[in-house]
Amino acid sequence: MSTSPSTTTAVHASGVWKIFNEGQSNEVTALQDIDLTVGQGEFISLIGPSGCGKSTLLRVIADLTQPTRGDVMVAGVPAAQAREQQNYGMAFQQAALFDWRTVRRNVELPLELQGWPKDRRAARAMELLEMVQLADFATHRPWELSGGMQQRVAIARSLAVDPPLLLMDEPFGALDEMTRERMQNELLRIRQETGKSIIFVTHSIPEAVYLSDRVVVMSPRPGRITDIVPIDLGERNEDTREAEAFFESVTAVREALRGHGGGAVRARAGEV
């Protein structure tokens, strides 16, 4: 993991620590010495039990929280600068759409904050709603939409400024299984159309395997990367979910989560 940061690297984190309440009795090491490089156009999933720091790592990359130690480069610039320059788009478990705006105006929000002129941002928003197949709902209010549709609006919004990187924090976590699988296909299609790099936080092993090029396995107390499982399933389609290779990868990730070989990690498996 000692690849030097360059512009062909989407994200490069080196020696990242995040310690909450450092020096106090309630000190928690949320991230311990994280090294991670995400290539341009790569799909990476962060997986691990609650408290393993996967969301914290995502938020450090997004510059929503500062690392205690270490450096994070996004698209070749420090994370703080990347946030200022809108080098990434973000999606959360809650779609976090604004009720008082129409669907289209929700997608326009990041463009509005960047000072885009009205007609250009409306055109861009419609283009994105087209992509997530919600153009017909442009004038609806968010609360009139189902959970899956809301999440698609949120994805369209995260793509608005056309950032090279998407950071997604369990975006499908609140959806039912059927919707979830449809959304996964949708996301892969969008990725193919746009060539974005994606870092995706999830609790679900099949989801991580289905979506990713590499699955980063994390472990709690202290939060750290214990394994990185490469996934090689080629082009994804509905058959992929039933393929032998898929189940093998699922098993590989599950074993990595249990910490095969590592006794200390195995002892924690019960908490998963």
Partner 1 sequence: MTHTDAVQAAPDTRPSNSTRRLRAGLFGLLWALAGVALTIVMWELVKFVGTIIELPMTTSDTAMPHVWTMVAGFAEPEVRGSDTTVAQAVASAALYSLLIALGGFVIGVGVGLLLAIVMQRFAFFERGLLPFVIASQTVPLIALAPLITGIGNRVSLGPFEWSSTYSVMFIASYLAFFPMSVGALRGLQAPTPTALELMRSYAATPRQILWKLRFPSSLPYLVPAMKVSAAAAVVGTVVAEISTGVRGGIGRLIIEYARETTAQPAKVYVAVFGAILLGLVAAALVTALDVYLTRNLPKENHA
Interface contacts to partner 1, rule CB under 8 A: 59, 62, 64, 83-84, 86, 88-90, 92-94, 96, 98-101, 109-110, 112-114, 133-134, 136-137, 140-141, 143-146, 148-149, 182, 186
| For partner 1, the closer CB: 93 or 226 | 93
| For partner 1, the closer CB: 178 or 264 | 178
| For partner 1, the closer CB: 115 or 234 | 115
CA dihedral 51, 52, 56, 61 (to 10 degrees): -170
Q: Write the single-letter amino acid at 65.
A: T
| For partner 1, the closer CB: 100 or 119 | 100
Residue 269 Cβ vs partner 1, minimum distance, rounded to whole Å: 30
Residue 93 Cβ vs partner 1, minimum distance, rounded to whole Å: 8
Q: Residue 153 belongs to what H/E stretch?
A: helix 147-158
Residue 258 Cβ vs partner 1, minimum distance, rounded to whole Å: 31
* Sheet strands side by side (includes 165-169): 88-91, 165-169, 197-202, 43-47, 214-219, 224-230
Residue 44 Cβ vs partner 1, minimum distance, rounded to whole Å: 18
**What SS3 state is found at 223?**
coil
How many angstroms separate the CA atoms of 56 and 272, rounded? 18
Burial of residue 20, with CB atoms counted within 10 A of its CB: 0-12 exposed, 13-18 middle, 19 or more buried: middle
Residue 121's contacts (CB-CB under 8 Å, 6 or more residues apart) are 108, 111, 112
| For partner 1, the closer CB: 161 or 272 | 161
Residue 26 Cβ vs partner 1, minimum distance, rounded to whole Å: 20
Q: Do residues 42 and 195 make contact, with C-beta atoms less than 8 angstroms apart? A: no
| For partner 1, the closer CB: 157 or 224 | 157
Instruction: Give the single-character DSSP code of 27.
Output: -
Sign of the dihedral defined by the CA atoms of residues 88, 186, 192, 119, in that order: negative
| For partner 1, the closer CB: 47 or 149 | 149
Residue 167 Cβ vs partner 1, minimum distance, rounded to whole Å: 8
Residue 268 Cβ vs partner 1, minimum distance, rounded to whole Å: 28
Q: Which residue carries 């679900």 as its tokens?
A: 204
